[in-house]
Structure 1
Amino acid sequence: MQYVDSDGSETHQEKPVEHVPGDKQETLGTTGQDLTATGQAAAHPQRPDGKVELTEDDAYEKLGYSYPEWKKWMILVTILCIQTSMNSNASMYGFGVDGISERYGVSTTKARLGQFLFLVTYAFGCELWAPWSEEFGRWPTQQLSLFLVNIWQIPSALAPNFGTLLVARGLGGLSSAGGSVTLGVIADLYQPEDTGFQYAVAFVILSSVGGAPVGAVIGGFVGQYRSFEWIFWVLLIMGGIVQVLHFFLVPETRATVLLDREAKKRRKNGQKNIYGPDELKEKRFSGREVARIWWRPFLMFFTEPIVLFLALLSGFSDSLIFTFLEAFTPVFEQWGFETYQIGLCFLSSLVGYILAYLTYLPVIWHHNKTRKVDPDRLSPESRLWWVLYLAPLLSIGLFGFSWTSLGPPQVHWIAPLIFTTIVGMANYAIYKSSIDYMIAAYGPYAASATGGNDLARDFLAGIAALYSHPFYENVGGEDRHLIYPSTILACLAVAVIIPIYIFYWKGPQIRLKSRFAQELEKARQARMQKRRSTIGEQGGLQGGHVEKV
């Protein structure tokens, strides 16, 4: 198949998709229904027990894809609140380090272990929760995660000793489902070719990266006017509110769960032989099956080149940002900023994220317009087109910040904030484009795929929590200890963004090595072709994507 890149100049030739045998085929779990050219449903494959599987095509109007647009955006706005609350757990903690150090008699470096443990266990929590959301559903998985995170805020605030605090922080991170589940919801609500798909991805990514600066702003005020325990009480209040919002406003979206529910309703109405896909699985939760479910996201991380390399790219970018933000306190203290004012400085990152989000909207509009002409015209690599231009801002922003960290009277404090905004634009672009690419490639298993991205981002950011403070204290001597560290990060950023260009130009060859992504793409295109054959004759095919009639 020929694909045209977003700039209209590059064409790629795809090879035929190979069949995935054995266990790999079972892992995909792709189901479908054969439709004839006249739109009539062909007979389902007959099972020995006489049971018939209810497929997506049989009950498409019951799935998240068919939710009205207002309902989809109600879910996405609630996800924004969840992401803000969860990501605040890491950023707010930094404003309690001095109080923790004083209360428990440990050094400030040791006090940062709480931040390190939360981020590292958060990285593995994303991977462990993601596959269960694909088995049990997004709603119960997210509810349980939010509940456990809220519970662990209590011993964090009331910890009688530093060891108890560390255990509570570690368990809090392990309980966090994070973006791997919330991003998987997008794949439940939109097909990759739907006009709203990329808008939804852009919005949810904004909520993912925006949570940290929002938490830092709140943490600045709490650190200024309250003891460190209030960091955890405020986090508990925020977590409780978003859990209630999620409980009442967000329905289940996972397709297999909704099909199981619809099958049960149909059996009650007399269709005795109709069963959902999960109902037909044998020995679903045997020891081997549980191990396979848990291993799935790690398997994808280590064996899928798309997941591995894009996750590492996004992870190193986030690590650089996390290290760089450690400079805020010593840099802005030069202008006499108080704690809450330093927290407000993090709004510059949020401004950068919003600006980058806005620049993506016309790109998405152009892509949707192109798909109306031909849904298959754009290659998956077109989703990386705009980041080619925004990614270099990472290095430019870090260079600019480093040499505007001289302090008064040489530099006004607004200068480093401007370059922080530029860095924020690049970080959003890298995260957004990599996630967008993976969700499109892995569809119903997007939660496991994007879990690898969160694994790399949180794990590397957790490590950065240990070295970033001494890095800005000891590198460069007394005169240049605020300049040289950021300059080093700017140089590293040049190397970090190189894989983006490799994926853009060599993506088709890399995808040919991913049998998992190829098989899912083959199944998706087959389903779309069936719907076009069925609905096209009824006049229901509109604007390059299928409307259920």
Structure 2
Amino acid sequence: MDNIPNNHASVPEKHPQGPDNAARKSALDHVEHSTANERIILTESNCYESLGFCFPSWKKWMILSVIFLVQTSMNFNTSLYSNGIGGISEEFGVSEQAARCGAMIYLITYAFGCELWAPWSEELGRKPILQLSMFLTNVWQLPVALAPNFATIMVGRAFGGLSLAGGSVTLGMVADMWEADTQQYAVACVVFSSVAGSVIGPVVGGFVEAFLPWRWTIWIQLIFGGFVQIIHLLFVPETRTSIMLDRLAKKKRKENSALNVYGPNEIQSWSERFSLHEIIITWIRPFKMLMTEPIVLTLSLLSGFSDALIFMFIQSFALVYEQWNFSTVAVGLSFIPILVGYIIAWLSFFPIIRKNNLQRQQNPNDEHMQYESRLWWLLYTAPCLPIGLIGFAWTSSGPPLHWMGTMVFSAIVGIANYSIYMTTIDYMVCAYGPYSASATGGNGFSRDLLAGVLTIPATPFFTNIGGKRHLEYASTILFCISVPLVVSVYVIYWYGPTLRKRSPFAQQLSDARIEGNASRRASATAFAGSRAQSRKNSLA
């Protein structure tokens, strides 16, 4: 078991006065009194108090508040562009369907951006990767805002989407600061920022479309993105454990030149860590996890197809509400019920999380309680997806029915979307700990890729199916597709242990957790933040 990484997300958080703290302090004292002939590699075990897990609560939630803004900004960018489609079509003489290609290409390249940025945040640190991602995203807003032709818009949107790191990195930061047993409130917060950002876009966009030229849909994205990047730069420290250990080792050597202390990444030369072969291995890690880890593949497909259905569903809003003569601003405001659904779902998880935490504490050796219990609330909220879709379908026929019925059911759909995203992400962050950025990248990849692919056919789907009742029949088709998705939730819940046993990397991390809890060996191998250890365990 010595080749298994010391998985920080699997080690229960300890009270400062606990017995394990004394062991860690003893190990740290050993580091302080090491000699020049004794090479010490810092690990999570002997420096736990210096890592993100031991940040004071106010600092953790301050960081998470900024991450909330970062994630909101990223998803705000994906949706606000749609309110400029009419202006783009008119100015450049392209059809509105062609103008939607700017939204499509952004989502598709965003899907790949989630996967490509995630592993580098595990190698180089969260902060520099997020800063570079936000900088490039903001830079690529400029050619779109100043575009002299439609081709420039397409190029700017393509590279802008590819520059987005997405929730894979921000959720990785949750695993940096919270243990698996205490992470759920933080995960719930980040997930809410992700889904809420997508809804805030059209709400704000309704006003922009009604009162400003289309280019302001891009300038507002840039202003918001630039503000968030500055806040992140000023207030968010590095949280990645391996990077913090490297910095701590450098600090100790500076304070005492006699110490022969190194961080986990320092034991390899720069040329070894960043050879072409290692770069390729790092980049393919999330894709390999998506294809070879059944947990990642199954939960990502569930979340991705669910999000795709909801994306198709909201494309009908303009068509549905024009039957009640809604203005452009009113159509934008019609997205508020989905946001209300997200808030209801978010709040509903609070008592569930408290109950779940108590169950895990009472049954520390029960794997079902440690993992599958995180999906329990989804068993009751997932049916909201087909209920909301079928209800919306048959209240969307226009007068004499009142429009309020459609909004009630769209809120119910919002409850389902948040619940599916929250529970699948929570499960993967728990299962993969320090590699959760790469694991959750698959979730983002599935959601954004499927949404991007469906951007172009979405409007024809609602206008060309079913003749006079085309809106009702189209939404009913979405309802029929959602039913087997909901059934899959129950299958995943009951067969979760089988999925985990067939996920080799997740099983290795689980075994490491069991061994670590039993022995607490301070001599475990260095934390697997380096690419060499990552390649050995996740790609072997």
Does TM, scored on the shorter chain, surpass 0.5? Answer: yes
Secondary structure of 1:251's counterpart equals: coil
1:532 is displaced (CA, Å) by 11
1:269 is displaced (CA, Å) by 2.0
Q: Which amino acid aligns with 1:240?
A: G
Partner of 2:218: 232
- The counterpart of 1:52, out of the listed 27, 40, 65, is 40
Q: Which amino acid aligns with 2:268?
A: K
> How far apart are the structure 1 equivalents of 2:232 and 2:365?
35
Distance 1:70 1:36, change over 3 A: closer
Partner of 1:73: 61
Q: Which amino acid aligns with 1:65?
A: F
Secondary structure of 1:482's counterpart equals: helix
> How far apart are the structure 2 equivalents of 1:481 and 1:227?
32
Partner of 2:533: none
- The counterpart of 1:90, out of the listed 46, 57, 78, is 78
Partner of 1:260: 246
Partner of 1:6: none
8 Å Cα contact 1:193-1:375 kept in structure 2: no
> How far apart are the structure 2 equivalents of 1:329 and 1:213?
14
Distance 1:51 1:335, change over 3 A: same
Partner of 1:538: none
Q: Which amino acid aligns with 2:192?
A: L
Distance 1:384 1:93, change over 3 A: same
1:223 is displaced (CA, Å) by 0.7
Partner of 1:121: 109
Distance 1:274 1:406, change over 3 A: same
The one-character-per-residue Cα deviations of 1:489-547 (angstroms, maximum 9, x if unpaired) are 011000122221111101111111112001112223444445699xxxxxxxxxxxxxx
- The counterpart of 1:179, out of the listed 167, 186, 207, is 167
Distance 1:186 1:30, change over 3 A: closer
8 Å Cα contact 1:381-1:507 kept in structure 2: yes
- The counterpart of 1:429, out of the listed 416, 419, 438, is 419
Partner of 1:274: 261
Partner of 2:529: none
> How far apart are the structure 2 equivalents of 1:526 and 1:103?
64
- The counterpart of 1:382, out of the listed 363, 368, 373, is 373
Stretch of structure 1 that moved more, 441-450 or 513-522? 513-522
- The counterpart of 2:88, out of the listed 97, 100, 110, is 100
Structure 1, unaligned runs of 5 or more? 1-18, 534-549
> How far apart are the structure 2 equivalents of 1:37 and 1:68?
16
> How far apart are the structure 1 equivalents of 2:77 and 2:470?
28
Partner of 1:162: 150
Stretch of structure 1 that moved more, 274-283 or 312-321? 274-283
Q: Tell me, yes or no, if structure 1 residue 501 matches structure 2 residue 487.
A: no
Q: Tell me, yes or no, if structure 1 residue 210 matches structure 2 residue 184.
A: no
8 Å Cα contact 2:37-2:260 kept in structure 1: no
1:434 is displaced (CA, Å) by 0.4
Stretch of structure 1 that moved more, 267-276 or 399-408? 267-276
Q: Tell me, yes or no, if structure 1 residue 471 matches structure 2 residue 461.
A: yes
> How far apart are the structure 2 equivalents of 1:374 and 1:501?
22
The one-character-per-residue Cα deviations of 1:428-482 (angstroms, maximum 9, x if unpaired) are 01110000000000000000000000000000000111110110110111x1111
Q: Which amino acid aligns with 1:348?
A: P
State TM-score, norm by structure 2. 0.89
> How far apart are the structure 1 equivalents of 2:217 and 2:81?
7
Q: Which amino acid aligns with 2:212?
A: R
The one-character-per-residue Cα deviations of 1:272-314 (angstroms, maximum 9, x if unpaired) are 2110001113400011111111011011011000001110110
> How far apart are the structure 2 equivalents of 1:58 and 1:102?
63
Q: Which amino acid aligns with 1:245?
A: I
8 Å Cα contact 1:54-1:259 kept in structure 2: yes
Secondary structure of 2:374's counterpart equals: helix
Q: Tell me, yes or no, if structure 1 residue 454 matches structure 2 residue 441.
A: no
Corresponding pairs, count: 504
Secondary structure of 2:471's counterpart equals: coil
- The counterpart of 2:329, out of the listed 340, 350, 363, is 340
8 Å Cα contact 1:351-1:421 kept in structure 2: yes
1:62 is displaced (CA, Å) by 1.0
1:57 is displaced (CA, Å) by 1.4
> How far apart are the structure 2 equivalents of 1:242 and 1:456?
26
Q: Which amino acid aligns with 1:379?
A: Q
8 Å Cα contact 1:84-1:215 kept in structure 2: no
Identity of aligned residues (%): 52
8 Å Cα contact 1:260-1:278 kept in structure 2: yes
8 Å Cα contact 2:6-2:512 kept in structure 1: no
- The counterpart of 2:393, out of the listed 391, 394, 402, is 402
1:41 is displaced (CA, Å) by 4.4
> How far apart are the structure 1 equivalents of 2:222 and 2:291?
35
Distance 1:333 1:529, change over 3 A: same
The structure that is helix-richer by fraction is 2
Distance 1:252 1:41, change over 3 A: closer
> How far apart are the structure 2 equivalents of 1:421 and 1:532?
50
Q: Which amino acid aligns with 2:325?
A: G
Within 5 Å, which residues of 2 pair with 1:234-313? 234-270=220-256, 271-282=258-269, 283-313=272-302
1:203 is displaced (CA, Å) by 1.1
1:368 is displaced (CA, Å) by 1.6
Partner of 1:10: none
8 Å Cα contact 1:50-1:273 kept in structure 2: yes
Q: Which amino acid aligns with 1:186?
A: V
Within 5 Å, which residues of 2 pair with 1:23-42? 39=23, 41=27
Secondary structure of 2:140's counterpart equals: helix
